[in-house]
């Protein structure tokens, strides 16, 4: 069995599972946010459920439109607050302690190695970086999960991405996953597990791995997952609520494909409109003028991302006519940015710094694009109208590429 299949077998109480098999599995965490949880609550009540299966295994994070952007957002948040209070939900994150869910849950130790996790958000696949099975579901499945602690899955087959070498300076996990999606396409791993192996794994930080797994869904994958090594264990030490359970793929695990990736060959990469698979080296795009830069999101709002932006922006000025928006992904990251002096440097450079929010990524608020405007962003999707007007354009890139572009006003590769 693959690593994913072993986790699913254990949670289904089975000795073995095979690709394509339908199973019912026990859940360690059920996640929702301020957009998807109200829908789940309505379904929860409609089904006649009168309580959650375990108050300590539900996580509700208000992160998309919080602080509330309008009356509808306020009503949605109120419904989440009332439900969390009525059910004594332990992991409820509101203004003051909230963060972008997929950065917050690993940071707070809510998720751990060996877990089986569902979330009513497609980027729930992020937690595979910790050696967990995690995947996005619809709000109805979230409702059933909150009530029963169970979910059904079709066991996925897997693609083995065998990593070798080491990334060059100014390249990061974002460049890796954009390169891979450019290779295999947005449906290249459809309902498959993207499993990352090889000696190159050891050179990737936890922030790199979280970013890579976060965007597995952009290749159509059911989940992305990394092996648990010393870097993972060090990250989880003293942080996680539950004891990590380490699963390893069998030596003879079956993979549909094996794709070799030489990390040393990765270059700063940009995904051009209007699909994540439309990738090109950043160095080839210098004639594309931009109006806005967004550095943040559940993909790239972590501490290493803030550090990458700081190293490029400090002592420099954002180009005239460019709006640069920087969003630390959690309050803890925001605080560390303050303590390190990053916030001052960002402001001095001409950027604006926001409280943690998903806002601009999904075209919600804090950075909506007008007709004809272009944005380079460290977010995860660049579909038509994703960040505003249907005639705007979004280019996906790493924090280093986005910050460098903010200084020139054009898409620009960072100096290697």
Q: Does a structural domain hold residue 181? A: yes
Residues 217, 113 share a domain: yes
DSSP β-bridge partners for residue 23: 153
Report pLDDT for 234: 97
- What is the distance of C-alpha 352 from the center of its chain? 22
- Is 72 found in the same domain as 28? yes
Residue 299 lies in a domain: yes
Does residue 228 share a domain with residue 347?
A: no
Cross-strand bridge partners of residue 253 = none
In a domain, residue 416? The reply is no
What is the structure's pLDDT at 416?
77
What pLDDT sits at residue 98?
87
Domain assignment of residue 18, yes or no = yes
256 and 18 Cβ atoms separated by less than 8 Å:
no
Same domain, 152 and 92: yes
Q: Which residues contact 241 (CB under 8 A, 6 or more apart)?
A: 56, 109, 110, 112
In a domain, 366, yes or no: yes
Asked whether residue 413 is assigned to any structural domain, the reply reads no
Is 415 part of a structural domain of the chain? no
Main-chain dihedrals φ then ψ at residue 94, nearest 5 degrees: -120, -175
E strand or H helix at 26: strand 22-26
Same domain, 257 and 282: no
Q: How many domains does the chain have?
A: 2
Q: Is the dihedral of CA 322, 212, 217, 69 positive or negative?
A: negative
d(CA 148, CA 170): 45
SS3 212: helix
Residue by residue, DSSP assigns 357-386 as --GGGGTSSSSPBPTT-EEEESSS---TTT
CATH number of the domain bearing residue 303: 3.30.499.10
**What are the residue ranges of helices labelled H in 16-152?**
37-46, 71-86, 101-107, 139-148
Domain end position, chosen among 262, 279, 299: 262
The residue among 262, 287, 309 that closes a domain is 262
Whether residue 321 sits in one domain with residue 237:
no
Q: What are the phi and psi torsion angles at 413 (to 5°)?
A: -75, 140
Residue 220 contacts by C-beta under 8 Å, 6 or more apart in sequence? 186, 187, 188, 189, 190, 191, 192
Domain end call among 237, 262, 287? 262
Does residue 284 share a domain with residue 219?
no
Examine the domain organization and report whether 276 and 241 are in the same domain: no
Are 234 and 157 part of one and the same domain?
A: yes
- Does 292 share its domain with 247? no
Residues 210 and 97 in one domain: yes
Residues of the chain with pLDDT under 70: none
* Residue 296 domain boundaries: 271-408
Shared-domain flag, residues 246 and 298: no
ω into residue 265 within 30 of 0, thus cis?
A: no
Contact (Cβ atoms closer than 8 angstroms) between residue 357 and residue 64 = yes
| 168 within domain boundaries | yes
CB atoms within 10 A of CB 79: 16
């Amino acid at each position: 069995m693959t690593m994913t299949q072993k986790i699913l077998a254990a949670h289904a109480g089975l000795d073995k599972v095979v690709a394509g098999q339908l199973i019912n599995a026990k859940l360690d965490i059920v996640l929702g946010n301020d957009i998807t949880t109200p829908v789940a609550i309505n379904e929860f009540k409609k089904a006649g459920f009168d309580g959650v299966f375990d108050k300590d295994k539900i996580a509700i994070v208000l992160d998309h439109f919080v602080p509330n952007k309008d009356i509808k957002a306020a009503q949605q948040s109120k419904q989440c607050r009332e439900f969390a209070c009525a059910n004594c939900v332990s992991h409820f994150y509101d203004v003051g302690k909230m963060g972008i869910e997929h950065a917050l849950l690993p940071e707070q130790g809510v998720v751990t190695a060996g877990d089986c996790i569902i979330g009513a958000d497609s980027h729930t696949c992020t937690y595979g970086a910790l050696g967990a099975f995690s995947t996005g579901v619809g709000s109805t499945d979230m409702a059933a999960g909150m009530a029963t602690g169970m979910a059904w899955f079709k066991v996925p087959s897997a693609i083995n991405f065998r990593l070798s070498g080491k990334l060059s300076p100014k390249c990061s996990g974002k460049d890796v996953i954009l390169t891979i999606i450019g290779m295999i396409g947005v449906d290249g791993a459809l309902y498959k597990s993207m499993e990352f192996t090889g000696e190159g794994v050891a050179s990737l930080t936890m922030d790199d791995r979280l970013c890579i797994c976060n965007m597995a869904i952009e290749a159509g994958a059911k989940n992305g997952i990394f092996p648990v090594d010393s870097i993972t264990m060090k990250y989880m030490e003293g942080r996680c609520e539950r004891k990590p359970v380490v699963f390893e793929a069998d030596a003879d695990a079956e993979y549909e494909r094996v794709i070799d990736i030489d990390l040393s060959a990765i270059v700063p990469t940009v995904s051009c409109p209007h699909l994540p698979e439309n990738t090109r080296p950043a160095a080839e795009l210098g004639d594309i003028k931009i109006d806005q830069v967004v550095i943040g999101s559940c993909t790239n709002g972590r501490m290493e991302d803030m550090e990458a932006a700081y190293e490029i922006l400090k002592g420099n000025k954002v180009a005239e006519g460019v709006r640069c928006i920087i969003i630390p992904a959690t309050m803890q990251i925001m605080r560390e940015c303050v303590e390190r002096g990053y916030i001052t440097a960002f402001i001095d450079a001409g950027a604006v710094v926001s409280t943690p929010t998903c806002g601009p990524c999904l075209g919600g608020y804090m950075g909506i694009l007008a007709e004809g405007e272009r944005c380079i962003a460290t977010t995860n999707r660049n579909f038509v109208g994703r960040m505003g007007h249907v005639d705007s354009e979004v280019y996906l890139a790493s924090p280093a590429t986005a910050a460098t572009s903010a200084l020139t006003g054009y898409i620009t590769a960072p100096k290697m």
